[in-house]
Chains A and B, each alone.
Chain A
Amino acid sequence: MADQTPFPQLLNVQIDGVWHQFPKGTRVIEACEQAGSYVPRYCYHKKLTSPGNCRMCLIEMGFPRLGPDRKPELGTDGKPIINWIPRPQISCAQDVSEGMAVRTNSPLVKECQRGVMEFLLINHPLDCPICDQAGECRLQEFSVDYGDSKSRFLENKVKKPKNVQIGTRVTLDDERCILCSRCIRFCQEIAHDDVLGFVDRGSYTVLTAHAGKALENNYSLNTVDICPVGALTSTDFRFKMRVWFLKETKSICTSCATGCNTVIGSREDVIYRQTPRENDHVNSCWMCDYGRLNFKYLEAENRLLEPQIRFEGKLVPADWPTAIAQAALQLKQFAGSEIAIIASGRMTSEELWLTSQLVTSLGVQWIDIVPRRGHGDKILLSKDRNPNTNGTRLILGSKSEPGAKLIGIADAVRSGQIKALVILKENAMHLGLPVEQLAQLPGLIVMNTLPNDVTEKATVVLPACGFAEKRGSMINGKGRLQRLNRAVRPPGNARDDWEILHDLLQATGGGDSLSSVDDVFRRISETVPQFVGLTLSKLGDLGVHILAIEELPPMHPSDGEAIEEAIAIQARRRGVRPASA
C-alpha cells in the first residue's frame, strides 16, 4: 500500500550510532554517504549492477534483536537493541531495511579497509608520477585515507600487458587494473556492446577485448571516466596535462539535441578534455565519444581571428567598429524583403533572441535554420544534431519544420529577389546554390568561428565564439533549458556572438541598452512565457524543464519511442513533484 503513494516509505536506519530516515530502496552505501559517513568503494557505481567484488565497502551491519513476540526489543533509550553480524558485510549490494544498523568506522571496518588497500597495491605498479589518473585516482586517494604507508611485499609483482590499444580511443594498462569490472558492466549494461571481459584466472586475471572486436562503441570513453584507477586512459588526453592543473567549467555538450551535461577541463585557454557531468534528467553519468571529442575545432589553425571586410574585391582585416558599420550599411541599403537570414540551431537562446530582434528591426521575411539529422542510438545520441532546435522554435517563432524555407530562400537568391544574406554560424552551401551565385550578392555577411567555401566570398566576416568560449542557454530535445558556461577565452579578436549581434542590431537602428548576456536573458523572460521567472543564474548547473509535452515540437513518425519516453518523464515529474518545481 505504501508503495502506491508518491512518497516512498521512510525507514529508520542507525548509522554510526545515530538514527536517520531513508526512503525504501536506498542502497546502504548511499545512505551512509548521505548521513555523512562516506564508505570507500571501487567496484560499486550507482548506475551499474553491484558485483561486490572489490570488498572495499565492507562495514559492520546489524539488525534489531527480536523478542519472543517477533517484535524488536527496545533498549533504555527506546531504540531497538542491535544484534551485530560478526562478519563484515558489503554495503553496496543491499538496500536499507527497517531497524538496520551499520558501523562505518569501527576498528574491524578500518582493519578490513587497510587489508583491501594492501592487497590492491601489492601487484599495482607504483608509477603514479607518469600515470594519467594521478590526482583523480581512487587508489591514490584511498591509500592516503585508509591505507598504510609501508609495504611488506617482498615478492615479484605479477606481469601483465601494458600500453594496450583496446580501442581507437582507449588505452589499457592491465598492471594498473584492479579488476573491479566497472568497464565490463558499463559496456554490457549501458552501451549494449558486450566487448570487454576478463581472461585467465586468480591474480593473473587480465581485462581484455577479443582480438576481433575492439572497444569501438560510441561510449567507449565513459569506461575511462568510471575506471577508478589508471588502467583505462583516454588515448586523446593521456600525457597531455596533469589533471590538477585543469580548470573545470560546468557546461553542456552542443553536438546534439540531448545536451549532455559536461565538465570542460582547460588550462590557460586551451581545452584538454570534456567529461560528462551527472544529470539524471538528461544524461545520467554518461556522454558519447562523438560529443566528448567534438571540441578540437576550437583549436583549429584556420579559426577566424579578425573581422574582415571586402575592399576593392578583396577581404581585408578591419577593426570591429568598421566591420559592424560596414555590415549595417549593407543591410540598411535593402528592404526587409530583400534580406534573408540563415540562423543556426547551434546558437544560444540569447543569440537567437537578438537575431529575432534583428529580423523585426529590419523587417526580414526570410529566416530559417539548417536542420541536422543523423542516426539516433536510443542511448544518448539524438537524431537531431542541433543542440537548440527547440530554442529556434520558441524564440524565432518558427512554425515550419527547420529548414523548410531554405529552398524558398535559395530560389529567392537565384531570382535576384534577395540582395543581402546574413549567415549566422552556418555554411551557406546548405542552400544548394553555386558559390559563384552567392559571391554575386551585394551583401553577404558571415558570422562564424571557422571559414568555409562561402566565407571568402563574403562582404563582411565577423569572427565569433565556439560553445566553450561563451555563456548562454539552450533548450534540449526534451524541453530542458540548460546553461553553457565560458571555459576559455576566444582566440584573436573573435568576439562573443551575442555582442556581435547586439552591435549589429544597434548599428542598424534597432538597439537598446543591453550590457550583458544576462540582460538578454532577462529580456527573453519578459517576452517568452516559458522563460518567465527565470534568469540565467537561476538555471543552475542542472537546468530547468520549461517545455510541457504538448509544447514539444511535432515528432517524426519514427520518433514514437521518444514521445513515449518524454510522456513517461513528464508523468514522473508530475507524479512526485518536489515543492520547488
Chain B
Amino acid sequence: MDEAIARYPSDHRRSAAMPLLHLWQEHFGFVSEEALVWIAEKLCLQPINILELVTFYPMFRDKPAGRTHIRVCRTLSCAMAGGFELMENLFTTLGIQRPPAGDGMHNPIRISADGDYSVEFVECLASCGTAPVCMIGEQLYENVDVNLIAGLLRNQTSNIKHQTSPHLLERRLIFKNIGRPDWTTDIDCYLRDGGYEQLKQALTLSRADIVNKVKNSGLRGRGGAGFSCGLKWSFIKPDEKRPVYLICNADESEPGTFKDRYIIHEDPHQLLEGILISCYALNARTAYIYIRGEFPAGAKILGRAIEEARTHNFLGKNILGSGFDAEVYIHRGAGAYICGEETGLIESLEGKRGYPRIKPPYFPAVLGLYMCPTIVNNVETLCHIRHIIAMGGAEYARLGRPNNTGTRILCVSGDVQRPGYFEIEVGAVTMGQLIYEMAGGLRPGRKLKAVIPGGSSAKVLRADERFKLKQKQSDGSTIEREMSIDEIPMDFDSLTAAGSMAGSGGVIVLDDSRDMVWVLNNINKFYAHESCGQCTPCREGSLWMQKITDRMLRGGGVVEDPKALKTIGDNIAGRTICAFGEACAWPTQSFVEKFPEEFAARAKKPVPPPLPPEYTPEELIEKEEIPTVPMAHDPGWEKAGAKGTI
C-alpha cells in the first residue's frame, strides 16, 4: 500500500485513493465501510471523499460478489452479437434470479444462491471485434458461444481467431507486431526487433528538435478529437518552472474501439518507448499511464514492461547516461468512460470523481495534473511518436493525405463477416473497401443499412445517402464531388465533411436486420450510464433520451417523441462542460434525422395531456388506446366533455 502511495507526489496522497481501493477490493472482495474509514485516514481525507469514489466508479462494489464474478458486455457490438442471450443463458445455467425490471444507476450484480457465481452487465469492454465478450474474474473471453455456457464456465479458452497476416490494403506501422505468432511482450523480443533505438536517438536530439519533428509530421491525436499533437506539445513552455506531467490515456472505452487493447497487451514496449521519447521532448519527469480498470492483464503486462525497461536503464535515473530522469507509473481506472476525457482523467488521477474541468481556465497544458502543465495523449498517438523519430517528421507526413497524415488503426465491428483491426494509411482506403474487402463484407443475404464511423458517439451515416465532399487536389485546389457511402475515404476531414467524424476509429457496421430504435436505445443506455452527472444538460438529458427510446421500444411511443429526442439532443450538444455532451447527443440527433420513418413507426400514440388524467410510462406502454381529455384552454373542452378523445 505504501508503494502505491509513493507513486504520487507526497503532497498529493489523495491520488492513491483508487489504487488503495483496488488493493482492498482484490484482497477482501469488496469495499467495506471499514475500508472507507481506513483509506480516508491513511490518506488524510474524510470518509465522504472515499465514498464519493466508490459510488462513482462501478468497478468498486460495497458488497461481496460471487466467488466467480462474470462481467458481460452490454454495449452495442456485443449486444448485436448476442450479449443479451449470453446473459440470459448465464442466468438460466447458474440458476441466478433475474433482476427486477426498473431503472437504477448501475447494472445490478446478481449472485447465485450458493454464492459461487455472480453476473453483472458492464459497459463496453473494448473488444468489439471479438463480440460477444465477457470477463470471468480477470480473464477476457472472446467470441463467446452463447449456447455453450458450460464450456465457458469450465474455463475453456476462448475461440480467438487471431488476424495473423495483414490485409493487402493495410500499411502496418503501429500494429506491425500485433498478431505475429513469434511475437512476445518481453523486452528481449522487442530489442531484437530494433526496440528502443528511437529512444536512444531521441536522447541525442534537442527537445525543440523533437517537438518540431512531431509538428512537421502533422500527427493528429488518435483518441477521438483529432487535435494536432505537435500543437498540443508546443503549449508547454520550454522554460517551464513547474513540473510537467505526461499522461498516457489508456482508458480506451468508446464503444466500437479496441485498438489500444492490442497495443497494451501485445506490444507494451512500443508504447513505453513512445512515452519515454515524449517525456524527454516535454521535459516531463513523471508519466502516468491511466489504464482502464477492465484491463487488469494489460496493467500487469505494462507493469512488467516498466520493470524490464528499468533494468535496461530506459527509464529511471539518468537514462542511458543522458542526465534525463523519468518515471512511468500505472494508474488503474475503475469503469468510468468519462475518465477518457482528459480533464476528467486528471481529476480521477488526483483521486476524485472523474468530473471534467471547465476550460477556460483549466487547460491541461497550463493547469493540468496537480495544477501543473500536463499533456494527455492517447496510446496510439504516443506509439506514433516512435515512428516519427525513426522516419523523420517530413517523411512521416508523406503517409496518408495532407492534414490527415500517417497511419491509423480502424476497428471494425458489428454486422461484418470478419470484424477486426486494420491499420491503413489515413484516407488510403474507402469505407467500401474497408467493409467489403477488408472486413469480409456483410453476412450472406444482408444489405448495408448504416455505419457509425468513429466510435458510437459519431453521427450515423445512412447507406443510401449521397454525400457531397470537398476534396483537396494535389495542386491545392478543391473540388466538390458527390459520392456514396462506399466511396468516402477513411480520413479525418472526409468523415467530418460527410457530417460525422473519424473519432476514435471504431467503425460499427449495421445491416438491414437492425432496428434503429433498438440500436439508439442501446447507445443511449451507454451514455446515460456513463454521464458523470456534473453538469445539467448531459446529466438530465442523457437519461431522458434513454427513457424515451426505452418506452418507444416497449410500445409506448407517442407522436412527439422523435421531435422531443431531437430537441433534447440539441439542448445538450455544445452546452456542457466537456465533449461528452456532443458524444451523447450526436447519436440521437443523427439517428432520428436519418431514420425518421423507423422512429415515426414506433411513435404513434397521441400525446397525453398533462392533467387529467396523467399516464405513467407503464400505462403508455400497456394501453392500446390512450383516451385523452382536452385541456381547459382548448375551445372544444366544453363540447367534448370529460370523456372526449383527441
Segment from B190-198, B317-325, B453-461, B612-620 that makes contact with A = B612-620
> Which residues 323-361 of A sit at the B interface, judged by CB distance below 8 A?
none
A579 to B627, CA, bound (A): 71
Given A118-B571, A119-B571, A202-B105, the answer on whether A178 and B536 have CB atoms closer than 8 Å is yes
Given A53-B577, A54-B535, the answer on whether A119 and B47 have CB atoms closer than 8 Å is no
Separation in Å of the B294 CB from the closest CB of chain A?
A: 17
- B108 contacts A by Cβ under 8 Å: no
- A400 contacts B by Cβ under 8 Å: no
- A52 contacts B by Cβ under 8 Å: yes
The interface bits of chain A over 144-187 (1 if a CB of B lies within 8 angstroms of the residue's CB, else 0) are 00000011111110100000000000000000001100000000
- B574 contacts A by Cβ under 8 Å: yes
Separation in Å of the B576 CB from the closest CB of chain A?
A: 7
Return the chain A residue nearest B539 by Cβ: A203
Given A55-B575, A115-B575, the answer on whether A93 and B361 have CB atoms closer than 8 Å is yes
Separation in Å of the A120 CB from the closest CB of chain B?
A: 6
Complex partner residue of A194 from B49, B537, B540, B617, CB under 8 angstroms: B49
Q: Which residues of A contact B37 (CB under 8 A)?
A: 212
A183 to B551, CA, bound (A): 36
- A94 contacts B by Cβ under 8 Å: yes
Separation in Å of the A196 CB from the closest CB of chain B?
A: 7
Q: Which residues of B contact A111 (CB under 8 A)?
A: 571
- Apart from A111-B571, A179-B534, what 10 extra A-B contacts exist at CB < 8 Å? A52-B358, A52-B535, A122-B544, A179-B539, A194-B48, A201-B55, A201-B531, A203-B531, A204-B104, A208-B51
How many chain A residues touch the partner (CB < 8 A)? 50
Is the CB–CB distance between A205 and B539 below 8 Å? Answer: yes
- A395 contacts B by Cβ under 8 Å: no
Residues of B within 8 A of A (CB): 33, 36-37, 45-49, 51-52, 55-56, 58, 103-106, 336, 353, 358, 360-361, 528-537, 539-544, 547-548, 551, 558, 560, 564, 570-571, 574-577, 607-608, 610, 615-617, 620
Return the chain B residue nearest A124 by Cβ: B540
A499 to B536, CA, bound (A): 57
Separation in Å of the B34 CB from the closest CB of chain A?
A: 11
A196 to B52, CA, bound (A): 10
A-B CB proximity, top 8 nearest: A115-B571, A119-B540, A204-B105, A205-B533, A199-B55, A52-B358, A203-B543, A155-B547
Q: Which residues of A contact B620 (CB under 8 A)?
A: 154
Separation in Å of the A102 CB from the closest CB of chain B?
A: 15
A122 to B545, CA, bound (A): 12
A405 to B539, CA, bound (A): 65
Separation in Å of the A579 CB from the closest CB of chain B?
A: 34
Separation in Å of the B295 CB from the closest CB of chain A?
A: 21
Q: Which residues of B contact A153 (CB under 8 A)?
A: 544
Given A156-B616, A210-B46, the answer on whether A55 and B576 have CB atoms closer than 8 Å is yes
Separation in Å of the A488 CB from the closest CB of chain B?
A: 40
Given A118-B571, A154-B617, A204-B104, the answer on whether A52 and B577 have CB atoms closer than 8 Å is yes
Given A93-B358, A123-B540, A202-B542, the answer on whether A154 and B534 have CB atoms closer than 8 Å is no
- A190 contacts B by Cβ under 8 Å: no
Q: Which residues of B contact A195 (CB under 8 A)?
A: 46, 48
Most B Cβ at <10 Å: residue of A123, A158, A200, A203: A203
Complex partner residue of B543 from A151, A197, A202, CB under 8 angstroms: A202
Return the chain A residue nearest B614 by Cβ: A154
- 23 A-B Cβ contacts within 8 A? A53-B577, A55-B537, A88-B574, A90-B358, A93-B360, A116-B537, A119-B537, A119-B539, A119-B541, A122-B544, A152-B564, A154-B607, A154-B617, A155-B617, A158-B103, A199-B52, A201-B55, A201-B58, A202-B105, A202-B532, A202-B542, A204-B105, A204-B533
Separation in Å of the B588 CB from the closest CB of chain A?
A: 14
Complex partner residue of B533 from A156, A203, A213, CB under 8 angstroms: A203
> Which residues 77-131 of A sit at the B interface, judged by CB distance below 8 A?
87-88, 90, 93-94, 111-112, 115-116, 118-120, 122-123
> Which residues 207-241 of A sit at the B interface, judged by CB distance below 8 A?
208-213
A56 to B358, CA, bound (A): 14
Separation in Å of the B513 CB from the closest CB of chain A?
A: 29
Separation in Å of the B158 CB from the closest CB of chain A?
A: 31
A55 to B558, CA, bound (A): 29
Is the CB–CB distance between A202 and B528 below 8 Å? Answer: yes
> Which residues 36-71 of A sit at the B interface, judged by CB distance below 8 A?
50-56, 58
Separation in Å of the A104 CB from the closest CB of chain B?
A: 15
Most A Cβ at <10 Å: residue of B529, B536, B548, B577: B536
A202 to B534, CA, bound (A): 7
Is the CB–CB distance between B539 and A202 below 8 Å? Answer: yes
A88 to B353, CA, bound (A): 26
- A198 contacts B by Cβ under 8 Å: yes
Is the CB–CB distance between B532 and A201 below 8 Å? Answer: yes
Is the CB–CB distance between A197 and B52 below 8 Å? Answer: yes
Return the chain A residue nearest B338 by Cβ: A201
Q: Which residues of B contact A196 (CB under 8 A)?
A: 48
A151 to B575, CA, bound (A): 21
Given A197-B49, A204-B104, A213-B48, the answer on whether A152 and B560 have CB atoms closer than 8 Å is yes
Separation in Å of the A537 CB from the closest CB of chain B?
A: 44
Given A155-B548, A197-B48, the answer on whether A119 and B55 have CB atoms closer than 8 Å is no
A404 to B94, CA, bound (A): 82
A210 to B542, CA, bound (A): 28
Separation in Å of the B583 CB from the closest CB of chain A?
A: 14
Is the CB–CB distance between A51 and B543 below 8 Å? Answer: no
Q: Which residues of A contact B336 (CB under 8 A)?
A: 201
Separation in Å of the A147 CB from the closest CB of chain B?
A: 13
A239 to B520, CA, bound (A): 45
Q: Which residues of B contact A116 (CB under 8 A)?
A: 536-537, 571, 575
A255 to B82, CA, bound (A): 69
Complex partner residue of A179 from B52, B361, B530, B533, CB under 8 angstroms: B533
A209 to B52, CA, bound (A): 10
Is the CB–CB distance between A58 and B547 below 8 Å? Answer: no
